[in-house]
């Protein structure tokens, strides 16, 4: 295998990346490569500070090498605020490019853009070429900024259902004796899942967002708004023992009779649990793109804030399971009617995506906000 050779601005004068040309120059006391936009008697360079910095421009003629500057500041005059601009780059042009009358006598717009500056420098080079004192002007392609892309997603999700031993069993107990406000220490539990199964666990997710690629398209950031609806139904079957006392609210039968749970006697929970959850989330994300010869992969993470509404219903039968025949104690109606949980909270997600074409792809995402959701969505870019 050939050994990789590393080059630097100290040893290389010019660098070509595809159709783009970069020359070695000293900027801010550092030797770096800056992109050539126009070449000839005068040369225009550009330097983009990505991802959030401004674009800088430099003009070279003979031994002169100067930055082109355009300032803008807010000024307050007689209580009125307005923007004051100073196209200093026009003065630089007048000073360095004053040896060609046709160019000097022309009127130029003060737009501080790559297109306008390249047009001016190219006109000067053509003027010098026509009077026989200059060389041919060459306008080079520039690296265009990648525009932000709007995307939509639509897919299915599956909820990360909490353990039945934790949610529908332990949470039904407290350490309070009815009618007594004293707390009697920490209860002990010996519960286990005895065959609970989830018969339904399916929902849908829709997402709309905006993505801006940076650093040559290798990274991206953006924001998105998503809505998820998930539903699960579980046949609960757990059992075990506890020395905890019962809570009056949790252990009321449909006839409003209080259930008496024998301490340290084996019991069994058998019933149906349902939960319908809706989540609207606004989030920001960052992605790292990985390119192959055939397709594009990316990894992403995000952070957001969401509004959650969950309708939870459980109806569970309770029985003793000692050595004799099981004794039915009654039905625990924790939330006989759907109990609505509404809250706002922070959340996040991790994702892995695949694109076969610039417009279509597939993304798998794990989102955690109130509950865990595994999403599989089809992605479309506009």
Q: Which of 63-67, 124-128, 261-265 has the lowest mean pLDDT?
A: 261-265
The domain total for the chain is 2
Model pLDDT, residue 84: 80
- Specify whether 176 is located in the same domain as 91: no
Indicate if 196 and 91 belong to the same structural domain: no
Q: What is the mean pLDDT of residues 318-330?
A: 70
Can you give the length of the chain in residues?
A: 382
Mean pLDDT across 286-313: 88
Per-residue confidence band for 145, with pLDDT thresholds at 50, 70 and 90: low
What are the tens digits of pLDDT across the range 26-76?
888 888 889 999 999 999 999 875 544 578 999 999 889 999 999 888 877
pLDDT at position 175, please? 34
What CATH code is carried by the domain that includes residue 330? Answer: 2.40.160.20
Residues 157 and 135 in one domain: no
> Are residues 190 and 133 part of one domain?
no
Mean pLDDT of the chain: 80
Q: Which residues is 225 bridged to in the sheet?
A: 208, 282
For residues 182-196, give the mean pLDDT.
68
How high is the pLDDT of residue 285?
A: 96
**Among residues 111, 145, 179, which one ends one of the domains?**
145
Q: What is the pLDDT of residue 335?
A: 52
Tell whether omega for the bond before 367 is within 30 degrees of 0, i.e. cis.
Answer: no
Q: Could you tell me if 133 and 157 lie in one domain?
A: no
Same-domain pairing of 185 and 254: yes
- Cα-based distances in Å from 54 to 34, 57, 69, 113, 179: 14, 10, 12, 11, 69
Q: What is the pLDDT of residue 109?
A: 73
pLDDT at 188: 66
Calculate ∠ Cα 264-266-268, nearest 5°.
135
Q: Could you tell me if 105 and 164 lie in one domain?
A: no
Q: CA dihedral in degrees (373, 376, 381, 382; nearest 10)? A: -80
174 in the same domain as 135: no
Query: Mean pLDDT over residues 109-128, rounded?
Result: 88
Chain centroid to CA 349: how far?
A: 8
Predicted pLDDT of residue 250:
45
Please tell me whether residues 171 and 305 are part of one structural domain: yes
- Do 116 and 179 fall within a single domain? no
Which of 245-249, 311-315, 326-330, 359-363 has the highest average model confidence (pLDDT)? 359-363
User: What pLDDT, in 10s, does the model give residues 205-244?
Assistant: 999 999 998 876 788 999 999 999 999 998 888 888 766 5
- pLDDT for position 176: 33
Whether the predicted pLDDT of 287 surpasses 80: yes
Domain boundary (102, 117, 145) is at 145
Q: Which domain range does residue 192 map to?
A: 149-381
- For the segment 86-97, the average pLDDT, to the nearest whole number, is 88
Q: What are the two backbone dihedrals, phi and then psi, of residue 123, each rounded to the nearest 5 degrees?
A: -65, -40
- Please give the model's pTM, rounded to 2 decimal places: 0.57
Binned at pLDDT 50, 70 and 90, residue 178 comes out as: very low
User: How many Å apart are CA 29 and CA 44, to the nearest integer?
Assistant: 19
Of 187, 186, 190, the C-alpha closest to 267 is 190
Please say which residue of 108, 128, 145 terminates a domain: 145
Shared domain for 114 and 243, answered yes or no, is no
pLDDT band at 173 (very low <50, low <70, confident <90, very high): very low
Whole-number Å distance between alpha carbons of 281 and 107: 53
Residues 231 and 304 in one domain: yes
Q: Is the pLDDT assigned to residue 364 strictly greater than 90? A: yes
pLDDT at 332: 65
Across 86-100, 246-260, 361-375, which has the greatest mean pLDDT? 361-375
Higher-scoring residue by pLDDT: 101, 113: 113
Confidence check: pLDDT of 348 > 60: yes
pLDDT for residue 138 is more than 50:
yes
Average pLDDT over residues 151-157: 95
Question: Which is more confidently placed, 108 or 307?
Answer: 307
Element (H, E) at 35: strand 30-39
């Amino acid at each position: 295998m050939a050994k990789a050779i590393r080059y630097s601005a100290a040893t290389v004068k010019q660098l070509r990346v595809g159709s783009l040309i970069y020359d070695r120059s000293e900027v801010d006391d550092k030797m770096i490569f800056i992109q050539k936009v126009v070449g000839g008697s005068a040369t225009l360079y550009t330097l983009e500070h990505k991802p959030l910095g401004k674009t800088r421009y430099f003009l070279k003629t003979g031994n002169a090498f100067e930055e082109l500057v355009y300032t803008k500041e807010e000024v307050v005059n007689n209580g009125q605020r307005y923007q004051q601009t100073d196209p200093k780059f026009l003065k630089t042009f007048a000073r360095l490019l004053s040896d060609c009358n046709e160019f000097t006598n022309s009127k130029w717009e003060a737009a501080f853009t790559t297109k306008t500056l390249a047009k001016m420098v190219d006109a000067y080079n053509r003027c010098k070429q026509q009077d026989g004192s200059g060389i041919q002007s060459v306008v080079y392609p520039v690296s265009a900024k990648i525009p932000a892309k709007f995307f939509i997603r639509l897919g299915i999700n599956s909820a990360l259902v909490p353990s039945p031993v934790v949610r529908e069993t332990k949470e039904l107990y407290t350490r309070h004796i009815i009618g007594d406000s004293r707390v009697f220490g920490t209860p002990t539990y010996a519960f286990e899942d005895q065959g609970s199964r989830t018969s339904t666990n399916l929902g849908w997710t829709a997402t709309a967002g905006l993505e801006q690629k940076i650093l040559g398209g290798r990274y991206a950031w953006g924001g998105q708004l998503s809505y998820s609806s998930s539903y699960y139904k579980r046949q609960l079957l757990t059992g075990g023992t506890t020395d905890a006392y019962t809570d009056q609210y949790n252990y009321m039968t449909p006839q409003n009779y209080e259930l008496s749970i024998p301490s340290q006697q084996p019991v069994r929970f058998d019933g149906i649990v349902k939960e319908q959850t809706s989540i609207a989330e606004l989030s920001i994300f960052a992605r790292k793109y990985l390119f192959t010869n055939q397709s594009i992969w990316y990894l992403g993470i995000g952070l957001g804030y969401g509004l959650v509404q969950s309708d939870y219903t459980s109806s569970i039968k309770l029985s003793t399971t000692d050595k004799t025949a099981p004794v039915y104690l009654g039905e625990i109606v924790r939330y006989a009617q759907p109990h609505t949980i509404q809250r706002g909270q922070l959340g996040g997600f991790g994702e892995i995506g695949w694109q076969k074409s610039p417009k279509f792809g597939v993304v798998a995402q794990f989102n955690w906000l109130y509950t865990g959701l595994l999403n599989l969505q089809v992605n479309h870019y506009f």
